[in-house]
Amino acid sequence: MSERLRVMLLCGRSPRHTYVANALCEAAEVVAIVNETGSAFSWKKLFKTLRPDNFFRKVWRW
């Protein structure tokens, strides 16, 4: 009984999400891939993201 796992993926726009999605496509039967879209632009969110503590926490993953 070698039935492949059937999955549906929810991905962001990040390259690492694409990498994981490709790996899962090889390992399982992917039924659907749903890509999240970006949110509306906000100056408040931009300034919050660019604060040094937030910025370095996000950048270290790359």
Instruction: List, for residues 19-39, the tens digit of each pLDDT value.
Output: 999 999 998 999 999 988 777
- Residue 51 is given by DSSP the state S
Contact 30, 36 (CB under 8 A): no
Would you state the structure tokens that stand for residue 3, as one six-digit string?
Answer: 């039935």
The band of 40, judged by pLDDT with boundaries at 50, 70 and 90, is confident
Contact 6, 28 (CB under 8 A): yes
Distance (Å, whole) CA 41 – CA 31: 32
Distance (Å, whole) CA 46 – CA 36: 19
- pLDDT score of 59 more than 80: no
**pLDDT tens for each residue of 3-23:** 888 999 998 888 888 899 999
pTM beyond cutoff 0.75: no
